[in-house]
Chain A
Amino acid sequence: MSRYITRLRMKRTYKWNGRPVGEDRKLKRQYYESMSISVEGKTQDATVSLGQYILIEGDDDDNPFVAQLLKLYTDDSGKKKTAVLQWFVRMCEVPHNKRKLLGRDPHPQEIFFYQDRSCDNEVDGETILGAVQIEYVPVEDPFPVGKSRDILFVKLLWDTKSFKALDPELMQPPQSPKSPPPSTRRPQIRALPTPDLSVMKRATSGILSRGSMSTGKMSSSEAESLHSASKLSAAKALSAKRRSRAVSGPHVRKKLDLCSPSKNMSRDDVLGEILDERAQKTLTSKLNTSPTGRISISIRLSPLNCNEESVSPLSSHSPDKPRMTAQDKDDSTSVFLGVQPIGDDDPEPLISTGRTPRKREATPRKAGLRGLKARTPSRRKDSAALREPALAALAEEEHEDSPVQTAATSRSKRKSAQLVSSRIKKQLNLLGNKIDLQSDGEDGDDDDCFVPAKIDLQSSSDEEEEAKIDSEDELIVKKRRGSGTSRSAEKTRVSARTPRKTPSKKTAPATPRTPRHATPSIPSRTVPARKPGNVLEEARARLHVSSVPESLPCREQEFQDIYNFVESKVIDGTGGCMYISGVPGTGKTATVHEVIRSLQQSAEQDEIPHFRFIEINGMKMTDPHQAYVQILQKLTDQKATPDHAAALLEKRFSAPAPKKETVVLLVDELDLLWTRKQNVMYNLFDWPTRRNARLVVLTIANTMDLPERIMINRVASRLGLTRMSFQPYTFKQLQQIITSRLNRVKAFEEDALQLVSRKVAALSGDARRCLDICRRATEICEHSGSQKNSSGLVGMSHVMEALDEMFSSSYIASIRCASVQEQLFLRAVIAEFRRLGLEEATFQQVFVQHQALCRVEGLQPVNVSEGLSVCQRLGSCRLLLLEGSRLDLFLRIRLNVSQDDVLYALKAD
């Protein structure tokens, strides 16, 4: 679903069609009925008019927003075009947590009628990309199969809370006042021959290429369907070669791959001109608003027209001409024959099948090849089904036009043909360059069209494929002469190549080359985890930092501030930044999560609009620029390189396209996103200031003055002054936190709690530390509980022990437990320091002292090697700080503990 014109590639201009149909003087608005969109370089304009289903440019090129056009107006200046819409949503736009409400897997083409009062239904008219087909499917019915990927289905209504059955009334294709009722037109259309659009295009391109190609086309729909992709690429190559207008050269082609706009446009130009010659009046707007069913029918009319008017003059170039033309017709006939049974029941499926090949071939705009690759097999089946009747028809009718449909077709109805051709012209515009792409594809390998490619379709010629890779041009020549089989090979090659060539494509789900979204997980255990058994275990479980408390006590004020900030931004639909600082373990992240939780709750109850919450953590990425990648991935599930992700996000947050929800972004450990140019921080704080961004950024770091210290002015300025600082917890707060966590589980004596909280508050005010100490105290209590009487509660003594374990320095204990020589060495170090009056000595100096001390102590003096190993042992514990042992006797020694501590430890011995 990605073949829509992207903003990056094309410049579109928008024009009103006709005169205003109404005016609102009060609001100074002028209403229009339709608007034409012309794409740079094309003479044909696409037109959208009221009631039509249209695509609106969104943040995702592959999935533009879908809507129905209700009103078009301009303000008095006439500059700004505004469109009033009825939105539809795709499944991917429905919040993740609500998707399961659907109760089944969504159809890939399924969209939902969107009903949300709060959603802005006015958009800038210049974000309209073009028209799209939407089909209503009653709730009970299954989704039609075998239809074009471009048709979207509506079954249900999504009102932000639940999926409901959609009242068909809402989906009535709005009748354009001027459009005649379908019944009046159908006979007219059916009276015409029904060749394929592609045939017509081929014909026109045949003219273009001045005989370099013949107009004959694939003799069977199957071949056509199978080789659509190959045609595309081959055509690309050909047209690139042939036309100097388009930038030629293989590398260019490579770059543009299958959807190079320039080529499309040039092709379209020519096509447009040709069509213009014959096109008379415009039935345009009517046609456009007409039910989609007519589109393909009208398209089918054209080839005859073309064949008669433009192809025949060329027949001298190609002796096979007449036969080919016949085949063309037969081809189209066959398509019809195959489809007809459905078509009779309901015009829609007929049309869609008729259109399908074209559409599909036209797909590779951005990620089209993925589609091709995925879809071709199914098509093959389709066309296989079609083949039999097609052949039958061929046998029966020879050069005659197929009397396929309801009405017999007359070849010579010039007038109607002309009429129709003008319609086609319109239709072509409507379809944008989807069709011209296809036409490119078809004229590319027109030579092989005689070969009944279906015979050996499956045999893919590998050498040819390789040859193609080696020298593209050569192969093009070869291909033009070659057999049809090469096309299948070519196709596989194209589809295989595309992912590599267009890395910007964000079609991860559909390129099943590697399962990117594989779900890694730790295997689950065989025996379930045991539940806490007694009071102490229960208390320990509750005191674990990971257990989420029911509420966060002592942060009410901060909670309220953040809540108000985010809530107001979400309600207003604006953006903003907030900076939260505080030492570790003061509940910053927990508070923000709490805020988001309650906001999400109220969003669920529809008190505030919905929003997305995204969290990144500077510590959980390897490089600051990975922030972009992570944000993008969490936002849209796309994978991209940091640079590309930054570009996409930039686009998303600055595009004026309608957004349906605010994004709340939590950036934890902000200081790690620091880069030399600070562009990551800059972007993070710049996006919320964009008018359409609807981004709320909450940043968390430890230092209060981070903005002043590390940020350059323009970054700090964008961060703004909304700051909040989390003070370390006081002992009362810590006490309250523990009490609230324990929640009436009586495991601690009051005094014990107070001791812990006072101690921690005095040291750091880190709640994690406090909880850890309490947990350790319960363990100690549990172990000693068996021997001692006591109440089974954690008492002062236990807490003291835990505090000792965690806070007391281990240096003294380690000196006490050191061996005699190690202790002597430490003494020697101190003695030498005293002698020198410095805090540093070389090993040699200390060693002399050491030996002297040994003699004093009555021990056998150690030799240098032993002394050095003693020294190294002390160094590895970091009781001493040493230089590299390479220096041997001259390595310098310093104490890592205070001399007093050493003396204290040694004296107590």
Chain B
Amino acid sequence: MSKRRSAALTEAQRVSLAQTLLRERLCHQKLPDRPVGLDSQYKHLLELLRRTAVHGESNSVLIVGPRGSGKTMLLGCVLRELMSLKEVQKNVLLVELNGLLQTDDKIALKEITRQLHLENVVGDKVFGSFAENLAFLLEALKKGDKSSSRPVLFVLDEFDLFAHHKNQTLLYNLLDVSQSAQTPVAVLGLTCRLDVLELLEKRVKSRFSHRQIHLFSSISFAQYVDVVRAQLSLPPDFPDPKFSEEWNHSVTKLCEEKSVEEILKRHFNASKDFRSLHSLLFLAVSRVSVSRSTLCEADLLEASRLISADSKANVLHGLSILELCLIIAMKHLNDTYDGEPFNFQMVHNEFKKFIQRKSHSIHKFEKPVVMKAFEHLLQLELVRPVDSGVCKVQREYQLMRLMLEHGQVMEALQRYPQCPTDVKQWALSAFG
């Protein structure tokens, strides 16, 4: 049956199946089997949580690592393994909070109560006042003891944001519970801030156990390439073994190619985290189609180009010649006055000088037309007023700054389709 079906799989089906599988993997919808390069951290955290779950030992720990370093993924893997332990199943309560969602202690307390299913105890009463809520929760936690109550795992994502709550009441209380003989709790903070401990008030800090698990990936480029290969490979249980074999082979070959290696190196240099890698691979995988059923070099190149494209480059491409001229004038002003702000009048003068001197291709524009072009640039935020909000000054004389780097302007000019040569020359010349 399965054989017949696999045979029946069309090319399109196979490709879409492979794409779905890879996309799922790259979009973090599925936890990896084991976190890459975080073995010691994984062991440490698992052991810690296991002790809370099994022995009822209260703990507090911070998982610190830059964005995209896999903090949540690590925790997810650990929890998955923890919950698979028979001893732990149904013995642990999990409360997940996020500093971006629970923006103050009141909301956080409600959320905790909700997640602990305590709101049933007193009907709607518990969601009365903040004070009642706090007292209620503390009482609940105080009731428990080390050996008989279920351990509660508090996961605080964006831990640093909780430190900005008033008086850090929530943190104090959670950490206080973790340091006293009450319901066993494990307070897990996830943050990307290295200075998170300095945010804690001294008595909150004293109650924190100072365990920090740092996630600094120290992988080499070779490992990085391995990860790319592993991420792109199809699993052995893919319905069509022939297709998957072909696919995997092409991926292996792809990774060995010089140009691909260059792209990957560039990405590796920019950032080591896997999230940006995933977005790169995702773009590449999306380009696979029935006509080209394997991943090729061009796909990766295009994806890389898309990802590392400058955000303003496209905006510059859409400008008119007049607007481009204004930008060049501004660039010259910047060069002359060393980045000091300018106003429209100065830009207009500069532009007029250029027209008078050597413009053949550009005819003269009226001042209001130039003003209009300038305002368009203002709207695109390529130019920004120095002091926003001060409108006492006439518009022509309001001080502005150019929000473009020198290099960006030059690159835009290079790529601008059918750019007049005299404009290009003007841009390249040292002085306007």
Residue pair A626, B131 in contact (C-beta under 8 Å): yes
Residue pair B210, A769 in contact (C-beta under 8 Å): yes
In the complex, what residues of A have CB within 8 A of residue B54's CB? 529-530
Residue pair B58, A544 in contact (C-beta under 8 Å): yes
Residue pair B144, A817 in contact (C-beta under 8 Å): no
Residue pair A768, B47 in contact (C-beta under 8 Å): no
In the complex, what residues of B have CB within 8 A of residue A811's CB? 194
Decide yes or no whether B281 CB sits under 8 A from chain A.
no
Q: Which of A541, A820, A890 contacts B57 (CB 8 A)?
A: A541
* B311-329 interface code vs A (CB 8 A; 1 in, 0 out): 1110000000000000000
Instruction: Pick the 3 closest A-B CB pairs, nearest first.
Output: A584-B206, A817-B216, A529-B56
Residue pair B148, A525 in contact (C-beta under 8 Å): yes
Decide yes or no whether A500 CB sits under 8 A from chain B.
no
Residue pair A521, B205 in contact (C-beta under 8 Å): no
* Complex Cα gap A810–B69 (Å): 15
Residue pair B131, A860 in contact (C-beta under 8 Å): no
* Complex Cα gap A801–B312 (Å): 48
Residue pair A819, B148 in contact (C-beta under 8 Å): no
Q: Which residue of A lies closest to B205 (CB)?
A: A584
Q: Which residue of B lies closest to A874 (CB)?
A: B66
**Known contacts A619-B172, A619-B173, A630 near B180 by CB under 8 Å:** no
6 extra interface residue pairs, beta carbon distance < 8 Å, beyond A866-B310, A873-B271, A878-B193: A522-B141, A525-B149, A528-B147, A813-B214, A814-B194, A819-B268
Q: Which of B122, B179, B310 contacts A515 (CB 8 A)?
A: B122
Q: List 6 A-B contacts (CB under 8 A).
A: A522-B140, A584-B202, A620-B169, A817-B216, A866-B270, A876-B66
Distance (whole angstroms) from the CB of A437 to the closest CB of chain B: 33
Q: Which residue of B lies closest to A671 (CB)?
A: B203
Interface residues in B275-297 (C-beta closer than 8 Å to A): none
**Known contacts A519-B143, A814-B194, A622 near B131 by CB under 8 Å:** yes
Residue pair A630, B135 in contact (C-beta under 8 Å): yes
Q: Which residue of A lies closest to B406 (CB)?
A: A848
In the complex, what residues of B have CB within 8 A of residue A806's CB? 210-212
* Complex Cα gap A772–B178 (Å): 12
Distance (whole angstroms) from the CB of B132 to the closest CB of chain A: 9
**Known contacts A522-B93, A529-B55, A544-B58, A766 near B152 by CB under 8 Å:** no
> Of the 9-residue stretches A201-209, A545-553, A730-738, A740-748, which lies at the interface with chain B?
A545-553
Decide yes or no whether B401 CB sits under 8 A from chain A.
yes
Decide yes or no whether B336 CB sits under 8 A from chain A.
no
Residue pair A776, B173 in contact (C-beta under 8 Å): no
Q: Which of B56, B126, B167, B311 contacts A865 (CB 8 A)?
A: B311
Distance (whole angstroms) from the CB of B144 to the closest CB of chain A: 5
Residue pair B91, A527 in contact (C-beta under 8 Å): yes
Residue pair B308, A865 in contact (C-beta under 8 Å): yes
Residue pair B271, A821 in contact (C-beta under 8 Å): yes
Decide yes or no whether B110 CB sits under 8 A from chain A.
no
Distance (whole angstroms) from the CB of A436 to the closest CB of chain B: 38
Residue pair B179, A584 in contact (C-beta under 8 Å): no
Decide yes or no whether A557 CB sits under 8 A from chain B.
no
Distance (whole angstroms) from the CB of B117 to the closest CB of chain A: 8
Q: Which of B55, B150, B217 contacts A532 (CB 8 A)?
A: B55
In the complex, what residues of B have CB within 8 A of residue A888's CB? 403
Decide yes or no whether B417 CB sits under 8 A from chain A.
no
Residue pair B192, A876 in contact (C-beta under 8 Å): yes
Interface residues in A614-664 (C-beta closer than 8 Å to B): 619-623, 626, 629-630
Decide yes or no whether A219 CB sits under 8 A from chain B.
no
Q: Which residue of A lies closest to B272 (CB)?
A: A819
Distance (whole angstroms) from the CB of B145 to the closest CB of chain A: 9
**Known contacts A514-B125, A622-B130, A876-B67, A864 near B47 by CB under 8 Å:** no
* Complex Cα gap A835–B404 (Å): 22
* B34-62 interface code vs A (CB 8 A; 1 in, 0 out): 00000000011001000000111110000
Decide yes or no whether B232 CB sits under 8 A from chain A.
no
In the complex, what residues of A have CB within 8 A of residue B192's CB? 876-877
Decide yes or no whether B380 CB sits under 8 A from chain A.
no
Number of interface residues of B (CB under 8 A): 92
Residue pair A772, B210 in contact (C-beta under 8 Å): yes
Decide yes or no whether A779 CB sits under 8 A from chain B.
yes
* B178-213 interface code vs A (CB 8 A; 1 in, 0 out): 111111100000001111000000110111011110
* A876-909 interface code vs B (CB 8 A; 1 in, 0 out): 1111000000001110000010000000000000
**Known contacts A779-B47, A864-B408, A520 near B131 by CB under 8 Å:** no
In the complex, what residues of A have CB within 8 A of residue B210's CB? 769, 772-773, 806
* Complex Cα gap A844–B339 (Å): 10
In the complex, what residues of A have CB within 8 A of residue B389's CB? none
Q: Which residue of B lies closest to A822 (CB)?
A: B271
In the complex, what residues of A have CB within 8 A of residue B143's CB? 519-522
Residue pair B167, A889 in contact (C-beta under 8 Å): no
In the complex, what residues of B have CB within 8 A of residue A859's CB? 269
Decide yes or no whether B33 CB sits under 8 A from chain A.
no
Interface residues in A93-121 (C-beta closer than 8 Å to B): none
Distance (whole angstroms) from the CB of B377 to the closest CB of chain A: 14
Residue pair A702, B202 in contact (C-beta under 8 Å): yes
* Complex Cα gap A10–B243 (Å): 95
Decide yes or no whether A851 CB sits under 8 A from chain B.
yes
In the complex, what residues of B have CB within 8 A of residue A861's CB? 407
Q: Which residue of B lies closest to A540 (CB)?
A: B57
Residue pair B134, A622 in contact (C-beta under 8 Å): yes
Decide yes or no whether B392 CB sits under 8 A from chain A.
no
Decide yes or no whether A862 CB sits under 8 A from chain B.
yes
Q: Which of A844, A870, A878 contacts B271 (CB 8 A)?
A: A870
Q: Which residue of A lies closest to B92 (CB)?
A: A525
Decide yes or no whether A669 CB sits under 8 A from chain B.
yes
Distance (whole angstroms) from the CB of B380 to the closest CB of chain A: 13
Residue pair B405, A844 in contact (C-beta under 8 Å): yes
In the complex, what residues of A have CB within 8 A of residue B172's CB? 619-620
Residue pair A864, B193 in contact (C-beta under 8 Å): no
**Known contacts A520-B139, A523-B150, A863-B308, A768 near B179 by CB under 8 Å:** yes
Interface residues in B110-165 (C-beta closer than 8 Å to A): 116, 118, 121-123, 125-126, 129-131, 134-141, 143-144, 146-152
Interface residues in A465-510 (C-beta closer than 8 Å to B): none
Decide yes or no whether A583 CB sits under 8 A from chain B.
yes
Q: Which of B122, B180, B408 contacts A520 (CB 8 A)?
A: B122
Decide yes or no whether B81 CB sits under 8 A from chain A.
no
In the complex, what residues of B have CB within 8 A of residue A540's CB? 57
Distance (whole angstroms) from the CB of A884 to the closest CB of chain B: 13
Decide yes or no whether A839 CB sits under 8 A from chain B.
no
Residue pair A879, B194 in contact (C-beta under 8 Å): yes
* Complex Cα gap A861–B266 (Å): 10
Decide yes or no whether A172 CB sits under 8 A from chain B.
no
Distance (whole angstroms) from the CB of B263 to the closest CB of chain A: 11
In the complex, what residues of B have CB within 8 A of residue A669's CB? 203
Decide yes or no whether B5 CB sits under 8 A from chain A.
no
* Complex Cα gap A544–B211 (Å): 14
Decide yes or no whether B90 CB sits under 8 A from chain A.
yes
In the complex, what residues of A have CB within 8 A of residue B169's CB? 619-620, 622
Distance (whole angstroms) from the CB of A77 to the closest CB of chain B: 49
Decide yes or no whether A526 CB sits under 8 A from chain B.
yes
Distance (whole angstroms) from the CB of A843 to the closest CB of chain B: 10
**Known contacts A523-B150, A622-B134, A623-B131, A545 near B121 by CB under 8 Å:** no
* A805-843 interface code vs B (CB 8 A; 1 in, 0 out): 110001101101111111000000000000000000000
In the complex, what residues of B have CB within 8 A of residue A544's CB? 57-58
Decide yes or no whether B369 CB sits under 8 A from chain A.
no
Q: Which of B211, B271, B272 contacts A776 (CB 8 A)?
A: B211
**Known contacts A546-B58, A890-B401, A768 near B206 by CB under 8 Å:** yes
Residue pair A819, B149 in contact (C-beta under 8 Å): no
Decide yes or no whether B309 CB sits under 8 A from chain A.
yes
**Known contacts A522-B149, A522-B183, A877 near B193 by CB under 8 Å:** yes
Residue pair A766, B194 in contact (C-beta under 8 Å): no
Q: Which of B179, B202, B209 contacts A583 (CB 8 A)?
A: B202
Q: Which of A528, A866, A879 contacts B308 (CB 8 A)?
A: A866
In the complex, what residues of B have CB within 8 A of residue A889's CB? 403-405
In the complex, what residues of B have CB within 8 A of residue A521's CB? 140, 143-144, 149
